[in-house]
Amino acid sequence: MPAARRCLAAAALAAALAGCGKGFQPVSGRLVWPDGSAAGELKGSQVVFESAELRFSGRGAVGPAGEFTITSVNPDDGVPAGTYKVGIVEERKVFPDGSLGPGLLDERLYDPEKSGLTAAVTAGRNDVTLTVARKAAKK
């Protein structure tokens, strides 16, 4: 490859790499229970956005009022525009013997493929409200 072409190829690659993170759309939102109240009990849990089509994912920590902001590469940068399946990784107490305390969420919500939660991310700021179901009471 001639030197001029190598320089152009290197410049194009550098420009593409420098643009990583550009095209991300900011995403913030909140988790709510079916009655519309904030799911603050989920503080410390993670909201996970996954897109098989884009081969991309992002996540955000849940705050005390059920709020979250999605991060992928840099803090709070969001994700590229597209449709995402969403899962919740619930923060649970770990007992001294290593066992986990009881969870609050329906376990289907742990897996973005099974949760039924989706988010459409478009150009510009995105505010997402996700309604989450509590685990059914044992009978």
Enumerate residues 6+ apart whose C-beta is below 8 A from 102: 92, 135
User: pTM value?
Assistant: 0.80
Q: What is the three-class DSSP state of 37?
A: coil
User: What structural domains does the chain harbor?
Assistant: 23-131 (2.60.40.10)
**Look-up of token digits 């994700």:** 79
Tell me the per-residue pLDDT of 22-61, one tens digit each, with 9 for 90 and over.
699 999 999 999 999 999 999 999 999 999 999 999 999 9
Q: How far apart are alpha carbons 129 and 20 in whole angstroms?
A: 27
Q: Which helix (H) or strand (E) holds 121?
A: strand 117-121
DSSP symbols for 90-118: ----B-TTSPBPPPSB-GGGGSTTTS-EE
Comparing CA positions, the residue from 108, 111, 86 lying closest to residue 31 is 86
Tokens of 99: 């066992």
pLDDT digit string (tens) for the chain, length 139 residues: 554 454 334 333 333 333 344 699 999 999 999 999 999 999 999 999 999 999 999 999 999 999 999 999 999 999 999 999 999 999 998 999 999 989 999 999 999 999 999 999 999 999 999 999 999 877 6
Is residue 119 within 8 Å of 49, Cβ to Cβ? Answer: yes
C-beta of residue 67 within 8 angstroms of C-beta of residue 91 = no
Instruction: Enter the tokens of residue 108.
Output: 């289907």
